[in-house]
Amino acid sequence: MSQPVTYRNNRIRWTLESLRFLEANYGTMNIADIALRLGRTPGAVGVMADKLGCRRKILPWTETEMDIIRQLYGSGVGAEFLQQLLPGHSVSAIFSMAEKMGVLSGRF
């Protein structure tokens, strides 16, 4: 039987520095990477992000980002590639915005 994973900050209070790091990086870094950096479980990072209100941050779409969707998504570029060009927006958010704008994928 394998040993359970232990985290260096398990059940230790969050420091102000850790909370600031979480707030600053939640939308741009993977949760697993944040958890590894802070020595916490991904679940603990998610719960604290909820408490801080980070998880519900909805980034407003800029006109430049919408132009990228119009031009690239409309010409058939995949959403995964677009996600690299549109940091902070998930694939489902990209699909949703394209649909809202009336942009059809050039793939279909």
Which residue reads 């949760």 in tokens? 31
Residue 107 lies in a domain: no
User: 20: buried, middle or exposed (CB in 10 Å: 19+, 13-18, 0-12)?
Assistant: exposed
pLDDT tens string 66-86: 999 999 988 888 878 888 898
For the chain, the average pLDDT equals: 85
Same domain, yes or no: 46 and 75: no
User: At 64, is the pLDDT very low, low, confident or very high (cuts 50, 70, 90)?
Assistant: very high
Same domain as 51, residue 2: yes
Domain shared by 36 and 81, yes or no = no
Do 53 and 67 have their domain in common?
A: no
pTM of the complete model: 0.49
Let me know whether 3 and 33 are in one domain.
Answer: yes
pLDDT for residue 83: 87
| Residues 32 and 78 occupy one common structural domain | no
7 has pLDDT over 80: no
For the residues 29-46, what does the mean pLDDT come to? 90
Q: Are residues 20 and 39 in the same domain?
A: yes
User: Cβ–Cβ contacts within 10 Å for residue 69, how many?
Assistant: 23
User: In which domain, by residue range, is 23 found?
Assistant: 1-57
Among 60, 35, 33, which Cα is nearest to 48's?
35
Q: Identify which has the larger pLDDT, 55 or 108.
A: 55
Region of 86 (left: φ > 0; alpha: ψ -120 to 50; beta: rest) is beta
